[in-house]
Amino acid sequence: MAEISDLDRQIEQLRRCELIKESEVKALCAKAREILVEESNVQRVDSPVTVCGDIHGQFYDLKELFRVGGDVPETNYLFMGDFVDRGFYSVETFLLLLALKIFCVHGGLSPSIQTLDQIRTIDRKQEVPHDGPMCDLLWSDPEDTTGWGVSPRGAGYLFGSDVVAQFNAANDIDMICRAHQLVMEGYKWHFNETVLTVWSAPNYCYRCGNVAAILELDEHLQKDFIIFEAAPQETRGIPSKKPVADYFL
């Protein structure tokens, strides 16, 4: 891996939305893989921590997130996934997060999973399958219903308040925090505040007009939401790529 001075230089370069060398990208990914394969599927994260939802390659809005939420390493961040696609700067966004060593459930629950220990045993070092517990954890959504339902996404399930109550009780937890669904207000509570959706990509796909949110948890797990809008147009670079395709919406 590059020396610390090289890593600092790479981070500063990536903060300017400038790509690093291909050899540096390979080295960065190799080091990240070494770290990730040693980590458990279920991570214990110390508070205070700031929880973030989808980013979707909106690099300049990620910079805005760091501006309103605090810079690294002074602020400890937990990102819940969907770093890339749809935005103009997927590679730059993902590489910056890797270089900062910033690495909750993304989607939701699974009928195959009743305990956190079952999540720990999943072999995640593979392509996401089209069905099964790993797929469900990434794709499922809460729904105002009971039990399990068919997801319109074609992957994962819809899960109701009773499913959440059973899972939380079995695992002695108070709340499930997730991302995965656009929320116009930036965050949304479900089922008497037992499930929380956080969305961190403002003006999603550069056209949806939504605000974004991050969740700050202090040492006593008190919650504070920070709402922010898209980065001002004058702070954004001019992408040299084609406009995002409609089918991504």
- Catalogue all structural domains in the chain, each as residue range(s) with its CATH number: 4-104+179-248 (3.60.21.10)
The structure tokens listed for 142 are 């809460």
Q: What is the mean pLDDT of the chain?
A: 91
Using the predicted structure, report yes or no on whether residue 196 has a pLDDT greater than 70. yes
Using the predicted structure, report yes or no on whether residue 209 has a pLDDT greater than 90. yes
Total-model pTM: 0.86
Residues 67-80, buried b or exposed e (16+ Cβ, 10 A)?
Answer: eebbebeeeebbbb
Using the predicted structure, report yes or no on whether residue 103 has a pLDDT greater than 50. no
pLDDT at 90 (0 to 100)? 95
CA dihedral for 239, 241, 246, 249, sign (positive or negative): negative
Residue 177's nearest CA partner among 248, 56, 96, 79 is 79
- Highest average pLDDT, of 2-16, 90-104, 121-135, comes from 121-135
pLDDT at 165 (0 to 100)? 97
Tell me how far apart the terminal alpha carbons of the chain are, to the nearest angstrom: 38
The structure tokens listed for 191 are 């089922």
